[in-house]
Amino acid sequence: MSNDIVITGLGATTPLGGDVPSTWDAMLAGRSGVATLDAGWVTDFDLPTRIAAQLAVQPTDILPRVEARRLDRCEQVAVVASREAWQDAGLADGAVDPERLAVVIGTGIGGAHTLLAQDDLLEGPGLRKVSPLTVPMLMPNGPAAHVGIELKARAGVHAPVSACASGAEAIAWAYRMLKSGEADVVVAGGAESAIAGITMAGFCQARTMSTRNDEPTRASRPFDVHRDGFVLGEGAGIMVLEREDHAKARGAKIYGRLAGVGTSSDGYHITAPDPEGSGQARAITTALRTGGVDPADVGHVNCHATSTMVGDVTETIAIRKAIGEHPVLTAPKGAFGHTLGAAGAIEAIITVLSIRDSVVPATLNLENLDPGVAQDVVAGEPRKIDLKAAVNDSFGFGGHNVALAFVSA
């Protein structure tokens, strides 16, 4: 019986759309989800960055009012995306033995909105106004826990926290659970909603964010020589992954295969990547090796590229080391900003759809390619290309590196 790992369900809510089809259509159409923030705290704190990529569809417009009030926004987006993925996979009640079902959903920060709001209540009206649900709403494992409880998953509920690599690491964790035989089905991905004063201020002080406030839709520009930092986004991306024998036994549609995964760490710096790209290259090489994928067959890399001066070029160095110069690259963050712990999962979904539809979306706002980038980066219009295999990169503060190798169904 085959123990290949296949993708049978996809779910997402992003700055481009409230589900996977609308997000994918917007990506191919070259639309941007970045806009000016109208929150009062932006001017109150005199932030140098006044733009962000907020959700296209509010989760409170989808979830029942009582349920939404008991969830942090980070948990809300996880629930919304997970329900779409579960339905897309065609998994009706009883289709999976609960003891063979697991959930792995990562986040970089967790319930930031709850933490800030409840602290304001404690310091203002006082203890009696603090919600008894404060801790379940702010804990980083909250998104995974809520989805796990809803699905009655009993093979394990996990919440990797590895900064901006969290969503991709969750998918890698799911792969390993399925390969080891711990589960037959895993619902995996990432969720994040941290567009708030303190996170914006922290990133601004670190000088990592774009200040192109007068041109919001042109601010996030990976690989462009005039890039000046990333744009903060929010959202969630969820996949349903299964052992192939389980998926075929129930007649499931299959989007593609997660052939291999690779993780590594730089051991270099808390925020900066190793300029040689060695750790990133090791993660990519491991993903290809575990998946039995020849680097020559990798036609595309969906890049982590956040639109920072150092990170974008370093990633291309790593890709050249691990794969070569032949794959065409793209960077979705030009369209929907940097969704932190959700980024790797959302971009993994885009990678799978690129293979399915034989098309690579363009990198938004790429007008003048950085001379340090030696590869072919898709810009302007999506490119039709027959893909056997593609790699999705994700990296995070702390030197976390994750690579996912996908192949066609």
pLDDT digits (tens, 9 = 90+) for 257-302: 999 999 999 999 999 999 999 999 999 999 999 999 999 999 999 9
Question: Looking at 250, 272, 287, which one is the last position of a domain?
Answer: 250
Give me the catalytic one of 164, 246, 300, 400. 164
pTM: 0.97
> Quick one: 379 and 292 in the same domain?
yes
> Quick one: 197 and 319 in the same domain?
no
Cα 28 to Cα 1, 55, 98, 222, 384, distances in angstroms: 37, 18, 37, 17, 11
> Quick one: 246 and 265 in the same domain?
no
The answer to the question of residue 366 being in a domain is: yes
> Quick one: 176 and 281 in the same domain?
no
> Quick one: 274 and 235 in the same domain?
no
> Quick one: 222 and 154 in the same domain?
yes
What pLDDT, on a 0 to 100 scale, did the predictor assign at position 166? 98
Cα 82 to Cα 98, 210, 241, distances in angstroms: 16, 31, 12
The answer to the question of residue 32 being in a domain is: yes
> Quick one: 31 and 171 in the same domain?
yes
Taking 70 as the pLDDT cut, the residues of the chain under it are 1-2
Question: Looking at 221, 250, 279, which one is the last position of a domain?
Answer: 250
Whose CA is closest to 68, among 139, 137, 153, 138?
A: 137
> Quick one: 211 and 265 in the same domain?
no
* 164 is an active site residue: yes
Q: Specify the CATH number for the domain of residue 64.
A: 3.40.47.10
Question: Looking at 224, 250, 276, which one is the last position of a domain?
Answer: 250
> Quick one: 98 and 74 in the same domain?
yes
Whose CA is closest to 176, among 5, 10, 292?
A: 5
| Tens-place pLDDT, residues 152-190 | 999 999 999 999 999 999 999 999 999 999 999 999 999
> Quick one: 65 and 206 in the same domain?
yes
Give me the catalytic one of 113, 146, 338, 400. 338
Q: What are phi and psi of 379, to 5 degrees?
A: -140, 160
The answer to the question of residue 214 being in a domain is: yes
The answer to the question of residue 200 being in a domain is: yes
The answer to the question of residue 256 being in a domain is: no
> Quick one: 233 and 280 in the same domain?
no
Number of domains in the chain: 2
Give me the catalytic one of 113, 158, 304, 400. 304
The answer to the question of residue 69 being in a domain is: yes
CA separation for the pair 13, 214 (Å, rounded): 26
> Quick one: 393 and 373 in the same domain?
yes
What pLDDT, on a 0 to 100 scale, did the predictor assign at position 2? 62
The answer to the question of residue 74 being in a domain is: yes
The answer to the question of residue 255 being in a domain is: no
Residue 203: give the domain boundaries. 5-250
* 338 is an active site residue: yes
- Print burial letters for 333-360: b (CB count within 10 Å at least 16), e (below 16): bbbbbbbbbbbbbbbbbbbbbbbbeebb
Whole-angstrom Cα Rg for the chain: 20
What pLDDT, on a 0 to 100 scale, did the predictor assign at position 256? 98
* 158 is an active site residue: no
